[in-house]
Structure 1
Amino acid sequence: MLWWLIALTFVVVLLVYRLFTIERSADSVLPDLNAALDTTKTESQLTEQIILLRAELTELRSGVIGVGQRVLELEEQLSQQNQHIEVLTERQQALEMTEPESKIYSRAMKMVQLGADLDEIIRECELPRAEAELLFNLHQQKS
């Protein structure tokens, strides 16, 4: 989802850049109209070029607006998903606290982090030796 947002932002930047270059070229064509008449281009050719540039400019503006709307929609979806993830995280934490076994494991993990030895964890948490060794080895590596 994040890469979509980045890609759309990149497209918007490109479209805006193209929009400004077209505006600049259109602006530069209008003041130089008299000078251009002295060269090989006729007034009708310049007018036609201006009309084409304005049409392209209008197209690009509508494209930028469409991309901008899509970016806003994606941001809204991302915000909703982040809220959903927060709710699920809160529910998961609540469930972990209500399960008695999780309290025992949490206590055992805390004891390992505080430096308790294996026998003390087995005795205090009333865990089987294999589970206590597993917890001890896993959380001792993190510390």
Structure 2
Amino acid sequence: MTLLEIGLLISLGIGLLALACALVSLRRVRLQASATEKLMQKLMREVAASSSGSVGMGQRLLAMEKRLQSESKKTEKIDYYNDDEFQPYSQAAQMFKMGMDCEEVARRCGLSRAEASLLEMMQKSSR
């Protein structure tokens, strides 16, 4: 075996090693891209849920404001604790006073996480 043949065999070995490293790196990149795509989809679903909860909360607040304006013209006082429309909110306020977390309150009262966290912030600011 000549020096040239030995050099070629070493070059072939280095080339194969480089090819193996490149294939391993490519596989890792594809796995990372797949994981990133899954995380993006999860975040998009959470943002959509949060947005829909915010829109629902806004609609409920507008309805409450209209009702308050029409009720303010009357002399009788609104009983929020016994009113079916406001019942989930009064229950949530009581649960926050008891120290429950936002997720649990949202689940028990049938509110979105956005609504529950807004109520929690209002509860904390009133203290």
Higher helix share: 1
- Structure whose CA Rg is larger: 1
TM-score by length of 1: 0.42
TM-score by length of 2: 0.47
